[in-house]
Chains A and B, each alone.
Chain A
Amino acid sequence: MSTADTRQGLHVENLEVAYNGVPAVRGISFEVNAGEAIGLIGPNGAGKSSTLLAIMGATPRSGLVTVHGNDISGLAPEKVVRTGLALVPEGRHVFTELSVMDNLRLGAVARRDKSSYKEALEHVLDLFPILRDFGHRHAGLLSGGQQQQLAIGRALMSDPDILMLDEPSLGLSPTAVDTVFEALDVVRKAGKAVLIVEQRAEFTIAFSDRTYVLHDGVITLSLKPEDAENVEVLTEAYFG
C-alpha cells in the first residue's frame, strides 16, 4: 500500500469494472467523508453492487481507490477491511450455522485495536439490543430484519471508518427498515462515513447527504435530501 495523498475518507476515481469484457461500471468518481452518508441508487444492473465489491477488492477493477489517502489497489478483501472499510453484503450473508455472538466475534478478526473488543461488542449490543437477547441463538434462526442487524453489527465489530451497505432494506418489513436506518444514523453521527447502495430511492435520498444515481455504470445525477419528494427528479433518476 503506497501513500497517495493526505485526504481522509474514501475516494473513488475513475472506477471501472468489467465482467468478461462487458463493462459494468464505467469510470465513476465520488468521495465519502467522515460523518457523511452517501447514497448510490439506480435500477437493477446499474453497477451499484459491482462498485462496492470493486472497492472491497472482491472483483477486478481499474481506477484509483484510496482510504485516508492510501491507495488500496491490489489488496485482497481481508486486507481492505484492515484499512478501515467494511461491507455489509447484499442478502446479509450472516454465518447461519454459527451463533449471533460467534458472528460478532468473527467481525472483530480484522479489528486494528484488539484491546477495545469488549467496548465495541457492548456498543454493537446497545445499538441492536435484539442481538444481546439472541446472543446464543443460531444466526440462521433470526428473522430477516434481525439478520440485517447482525450483519451490520458484525461489520461494525471491525471498527470501520467507512461502512458500506449493499441493499440493507432488501426483503425487510417497514419496521425493520426503520430500525436499520435509525442505527445507521447513530453510526453516521458517531463520525463514521456511510455508503449505502439501495434500490429504494426515496428512503436513501432522504437519509443521505448526497445521493448519486447510477445508470449503466455511469453516474448520471447527484441528488440532495430535499429531492426525496420530488417526483420528477425520482422519475428522472430511475427512467433517465
Chain B
Amino acid sequence: MNQLIQSLVDAISAGAVLGLAALAIGLVFGVIRLANFATGEIITAAAYSLILTWDLGWYISIPISIIVAVLISLLMELAVFSRMRNHGPATLLIASFGLSFLLQRVYELIFGNNVRTAPIASGLAQSIDIGGIRVQMLSVTTIVLAAVLLIALQLFLTKTSLGLQLKAAAADFKTARLVGIPAGRVIGLSFALSGILAAAVAFVLTVQSGAVGPNFGVRITILALIGAVIGGIDKISGSLAGGFLVGFVTSMLASWLPQDLTNFKDAFVFVLVIGVLLFKPSGLLIKGRGVVRT
C-alpha cells in the first residue's frame, strides 16, 4: 500500500512537470500555431543558469534562471518566428527544429559537451515521512510548485485584461485582432509565460539530476509535445492535461513494470499515445475533430 502511494505521489509529480512543459508549448501554439520544439533549449538555458549561479544563493540564482528563460524565449520570437508570421504551422515547426539544433550546438561550444554539475537545492533530495509513508521532498515540492503556478496562471488569464486578451487570442487569433487585441502584445506575452514555465521545469529537472548538458531539455520537450497533442494542443487546458497524463503514466510504468521491461517504458507510453490518437485525433479535451484555423 505504501509503495502504491509513494509511486502515486511520484507519478503526480512527474505529471506536474510534464504538464508545465506541455503548457509552455500549448500557450504559444494557441496564439501563433507554433509547436515550439526549441522550448527544450529554453529549459536548458534556465538549467545552465541555475548550475552556474547557484553559489550566489537560491534567491539570486532562481530569478536569474527565470530572466534568462524569458529573454531567450522572447529572443526566439523576435529573431526568428516573428519573421515567419505569414507562413504555415509546418514552416514554423521546422524552423523551431532548426533553432533547437542550433542552440544545442551553441551550448556545446560555450559549455562543452560534458555535463555541468552543482548540488541544486540538495535538501529537496531527502525523503520525508507523511503519516508513515515516505515520500521525496522534491515530489511534494514539485506538486506544490505546479499548483501555485497553475493557480497564478489561472488568476492571470481570468482576472486581468492582459490575461483575457491572451486567452481570447489563443482561442481565435484572427477574431482577437479584429476586436482590437494587439497581436504583438499577446504573442510576446505567450512567449514570456512560456519562458517562466520552462524555468520552473528546468528547476525541478536540475534538482532531480544535478547535471546539465547541451541536450538537457530535449527528452522532456518530446514528451511534452506528445502530451500536448494527445490532450488537445488547440486548448490550453488540453496541453496541460495531456502533459500530465504522459508524465503520470511514464512514472507509473517506471514504478510497476517488471525490472526487465522498465527500459521500454517509453515504448508503452507511445502505444498509449497511438491508441489515443486513433480514437481522438484532435486530442482528449477537444470536442469533435478539433478546430481548423487558417
Chain A contacts to B: CB under 8 angstroms: 56, 58, 76-78, 81-82, 87, 89, 93, 95-98, 102, 105-107, 109-110, 154-155, 158
Contacts and interface: CB of A to CB of B under 8 A. Distances in A.
B26 to A, nearest CB: 14
21 contacts: A58-B174, A58-B177, A77-B178, A77-B180, A78-B177, A78-B178, A78-B182, A81-B179, A87-B178, A93-B172, A93-B175, A95-B172, A95-B175, A102-B164, A106-B164, A106-B165, A106-B176, A109-B165, A110-B180, A158-B179, A158-B180
B167 A98 contact: yes
A107 B178 contact: no
Nearest to A53: B178
A105 B180 contact: no
A81 B171 contact: no
B164 A78 contact: no
B124 interface: no
Contacts of B180: 77-78, 81-82, 107, 109-110, 158
Nearest to A94: B175
Contacts of A82: 180
B161 interface: yes
B277 interface: no
B177 A96 contact: no
B9 to A, nearest CB: 32
Contacts of B171: 95-98
B183 interface: yes
B168 interface: yes
Contacts of B164: 98, 102, 105-106
Interface in B243-277: none
**Interface of chain B, helix or strand or loop or mixed?**
helix
Contacts of B182: 78
A82 B158 CA distance: 24
Contacts of B167: 95, 97-98
Interface of B: 158, 161, 164-165, 167-168, 171-172, 174-183
Contacts of B165: 106, 109
B183 A78 contact: yes
Contacts of A154: 179
Contacts of B174: 58
Given A58-B174, A98-B168, 14 more contacts: A58-B178, A77-B177, A77-B178, A87-B178, A89-B175, A93-B175, A93-B178, A95-B171, A102-B158, A105-B161, A109-B165, A109-B180, A110-B181, A155-B179
Contact of B179 (A96, A97, A109): A109
Nearest to B167: A98
Contacts of A89: 175, 178
Contacts of A58: 174, 177-178
A79 to B, nearest CB: 8
Contacts of B175: 89, 93, 95
Contact of B178 (A56, A96, A102, A105): A56
Nearest to B175: A93
Contacts of A76: 177, 183
Given A58-B174, A58-B177, A89-B175, A95 B183 contact: no
A97 B183 CA distance: 20
Leading 6 A-B pairs by shortest Cβ distance = A110-B180, A81-B180, A93-B175, A77-B177, A95-B168, A78-B182
Contacts of A106: 164-165, 168, 176, 179, 181
A78 B180 CA distance: 4
A85 B226 CA distance: 42
Max chain B Cβ within 10 angstroms of own Cβ: one of A56, A58, A81, A95: A95
Nearest to A81: B180
Nearest to A52: B178
A72 B165 CA distance: 24
Contacts of B179: 81, 106-107, 109-110, 154-155, 158
Nearest to A56: B178
